[in-house]
Amino acid sequence: MNHAGVGQWSDLGPRLISGGLFAVIGLFAMWLGGHPFHAFVAVICGIMVWEVARMVGAASASVALGCLAAVALFLLVTLPAGYSLPLVFVPALVGIARLERHRVSYALFSSAILVASFGLIHLRDDFGFIWMVWLALIVIASDILGYFAGRSIGGPKFWPKVSPKKTWSGTIAGWIGAALVGLVYAWKGMAGGEIIGISIALAIAGQFGDIAESALKRRMGVKDSSSILPGHGGMFDRFDAMLGASLFLLLVEQIIDFPPVPL
């Protein structure tokens, strides 16, 4: 028996089970929309800020900072944006006051998590369930194809010093997966052909989100952000790509008419 080959896939079972259960819960929340979805994203946001706070050395204040982030996000999407926008930075400012080091890392990541989480809620509220599913499918397709291509094909590493498991074969396979998602949306007449390029760009942004989290973990000397999700690690490990894609989509919406109209 090839024990190396068995070890290569040893995390597949737990990864599929925990990922599948969470996907069902997430899909249901996405379908409901409104305050149930807002609350769902706020809880995830709070958990990720809790994880970041623990990683940078603010374990004693991590629960409070996570709860503060969840409440801040829920208020941000409930109150008029012009009044509530400063709430994006409240968890970062409070965390800075509690930290003796790694203040910049915590401030940047906690603020990015809140902005990206806001972007997810904005996408669902303003563009509907179909486009929330589109973003999720891009991240899922990129992750699944990247995982299997990287493990099966292998080859040169993409950025070994930061993310030693990520390969060029997996990275490119992720782009192909995202392109296929965009192609389906264009083929069904839900958007113009530009949606294919946008989908690939979001996959790349998601991969950079993954790399950014890997860089933080490597700097802090931890393997996973937490152990909440078997096979995945923490919530931040699961949502790092989604956050990167969400942040970039907020920028895309300012540059072009979204979704692109079919010709």
pLDDT higher than threshold 50 for residue 1: no
263 burial level (CB within 10 Å; 0-12, 13-18, 19+): exposed
The 10s digit of each residue's pLDDT in 193-226 is 999 999 999 999 999 999 999 999 999 999 889 8
pLDDT higher than threshold 80 for residue 18: no
Domain boundaries, the chain: 9-255
> What's CA 66's distance to the chain center, in Å?
17
pLDDT higher than threshold 70 for residue 16: no
pLDDT higher than threshold 90 for residue 2: no
The pLDDT value recorded for residue 23 is 79
Contact (Cβ atoms closer than 8 angstroms) between residue 189 and residue 140: no
The reported pTM is 0.89
Residue 154 DSSP class:
-
Contact (Cβ atoms closer than 8 angstroms) between residue 80 and residue 141: no
Q: How far apart are CA 237 and CA 83, in angstroms?
A: 32
DSSP conformation letters of 129-143: HHHHHHHHHHHHHHH
Per the model's pLDDT, the better-predicted residue between 59 and 229 turns out to be 59
The pLDDT value recorded for residue 216 is 94
Type of residue numbered 19: G
The 10s digit of each residue's pLDDT in 127-149 is 999 999 999 999 999 988 987 88
- Residue 3 confidence class, pLDDT cut points 50, 70, 90: very low
